[in-house]
Amino acid sequence: MTETETDTAETGQDDGPRDIGSGARRAGIRRAIRIGSWPEPGKRGPALTASALLLGLAMLLHAKIPNRIGNLGSLVETFLPWSGLGVPILLAGALRRRSAPAVAALLLPVLAWLNLFGGLLGDKSHPGGDLTVASHNVGAGNPDPAGTARALRTSGADLLALEELTRHATGTYEKELATTYPYRAVQGTVGLWSKLPLSDVRPIDIMNHGTLADTVPADEKAASNRALRATVATGHGPLTVYVAHLGSVRVNPRAGFWTASRNIGVQALGKALAAEQNKRVVLLGDLNGTMDDRALAGLTSQLRSAHDTAGDGFGFSWPAPFPVVRFDHILVRGVEPDRSWVLPATGSDHLPVAAAISW
């Protein structure tokens, strides 16, 4: 009997032939896991690093993105606050790849975003306000204009601007708001309701101004009766109020970000504001653009945003179910914004906005 046979006889066990290949397979699996979870040094996220740097540069240099092709620059600026969402997405990829360079590169977009929008994160409002103003695109398809009027009536606004009025709904708003706002001025699809006397009311033609007007096909032009100017008699002197609903913007494959009608209105309003003699001016309305959009420079160079000055957060107003941009604005000159806020939803696809101003 051999030694091996003796061992077997003594123990009474036979382990059988050993599986030499099982150990090799286990080692191969471990190597595959290491390869999948820990990239080689030269492959740890160069694309993520480049993406982070490009995101940061796009934020810092957004004004340099050209508008020649499909108004790309304006499109980027319209949704610029949402560019910050790229940071957590890239961070997740960088952590998965364990890429230290990609994580470090993310500092650029983080700092750029904070530089652009960090000031909007805090509440800049303060007590005060001699006059409260509000603006609301009530929506041509609003199924409940009477309910919308009742909601606005309780807003506490002294001046109430309404845009996108229809012939049928205007009568409803006039009836529902008459007791609270004895003074009103309606020009086409915009109106101003006031607790204080109004005078010198006149329309502002926002569609037949400058060379841009000749470039817009007749069937794509917005109606010209979408803006007005009025003088409000206050205890501190006259206040000039503009109400405007600029032309719509849209994205389509043929034209890219189509803004021609809106931009014509900006030119017309900018010219009217430049010629305005009164030092105290408020512009209320749906401008179909954000304060970051370079196309609104004709307005933002003359007026400042009440929400950017005295608001809390981004103040997004459209679309009402899940707002992603602030198209509805209160811009001022010669008066001081004390508070700015967004009002609860009505039957419109826009949210109302309000601000308290003082002399």
Separation of alpha carbons 63 and 46, rounded Å:
27
CATH code of the domain covering residue 255 = 3.60.10.10
Averaged pLDDT score across all residues of the chain: 89
Same structural domain for residues 192 and 229? yes
Cα gap 185→138, rounded to integer Å: 16
Does the residue 15 lie in any domain? Answer: no
pLDDT at 20 over 70: no
User: What confidence score (pLDDT) does residue 225 get?
Assistant: 87
Q: What sign results for the dihedral spanned by CA atoms 329, 109, 321, 78?
A: positive
Mean pLDDT confidence for 339-344: 98
pLDDT mean over 324-348:
98
Confidence (pTM): 0.85
Domain end (from 119, 154, 175) = 119
Instruction: Write down the pLDDT at residue 22.
Output: 65
Name the residue range of residue 200's domain. 131-358
Say what the pLDDT of residue 208 is.
73
For residues 171 and 201, membership in a common domain is answered with yes
10: in domain: no
| CA–centroid distance for 217 within its chain | 28
Q: How far is CA 25 from CA 31, 165, 233, 256, 274, in A?
A: 10, 74, 88, 56, 80
- Does 98 lie in the same domain as 162? no
Burial class (CB in 10 A: 0-12, 13-18, 19+), 146: middle
Q: Which of 98, 119, 140 lies at the terminal end of a domain, its last residue? A: 119
For residue 136, give the nearest of 350, 311, 356 by alpha carbon. Answer: 350
Residues 6 or more apart whose CB falls under 8 angstroms from that of 29 comprise none
Mean pLDDT value across residues 163-191: 97
Look up residue 244 and give its amino acid.
A
Into how many domains does the chain fold?
Answer: 2
Write the pLDDT tens digit of every residue in 33-48. 554 454 554 456 899 9
CA distance 28 to 178: 82
